[in-house]
């Protein structure tokens, strides 16, 4: 039996990669957006003061010391007395090589409380201390 051959030349099937690239780009963008929402903040929400020179800081293992408007001091999200702060800072210094302290002071908090927290951090010998501020829109 004779076989009929098509007059057209047989073309090889092609793999269209443009839709594949589009899907991969969408998945990458989605993963990046979701991973940004997974950043854990250990601080108590406060109204940060604004600073023109505010810059984002790279964070690793850190402790957020928060001074609320009413003068309450928090170690991450746990309320702590100012008298207990030096002992906790000394214990932190023994467990971490170079601990980082971020001081979050409410803009309406008493200046003396924030200075007392900074003094406790400095007296424990911790040198990596930063005050967290918000970006001031010009």
Instruction: Find the distance separating the first CA and the last CA of the chain, reported in whole Å.
Output: 86
Cα(14)–Cα(84) distance, integer angstroms: 70
Beta bridge partners of 66: 74, 104
What domains are defined for the chain? 50-135 (3.30.420.270)
Cα(126)–Cα(115) distance, integer angstroms: 15
pTM for the full model? Answer: 0.55
What is the per-residue pLDDT across 50-96, written as a single tens digit (0 to 9) for each? 777 766 665 456 788 888 888 888 988 889 998 999 898 888 888 88
- Ramachandran quadrant class, 30 (left: phi over 0; alpha: psi -120 to 50; beta: rest): alpha
Residue 8 confidence (pLDDT): 67
Tokens of 10: 């047989």
Q: For the residues 29-58, what does the mean pLDDT come to?
A: 73
């Amino acid at each position: 039996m004779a076989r009929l051959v098509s007059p057209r030349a047989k073309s090889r099937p092609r793999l269209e990669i443009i839709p594949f690239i589009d899907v991969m780009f969408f998945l990458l963008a989605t993963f990046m957006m979701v991973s940004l929402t997974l950043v854990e903040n250990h601080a108590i929400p406060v109204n940060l003061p604004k600073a023109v020179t505010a810059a984002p800081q790279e964070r690793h293992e850190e402790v957020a010391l928060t001074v609320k408007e009413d003068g309450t001091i928090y170690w991450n999200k746990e309320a702590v007395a100012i008298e207990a702060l030096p002992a906790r800072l000394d214990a932190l210094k023994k467990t971490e090589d170079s601990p980082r302290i971020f001081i979050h002071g409410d803009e309406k908090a008493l200046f003396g409380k924030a200075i007392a927290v900074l003094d406790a951090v400095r007296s424990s010998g911790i040198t990596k201390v930063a005050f967290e501020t918000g970006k001031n829109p010009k």
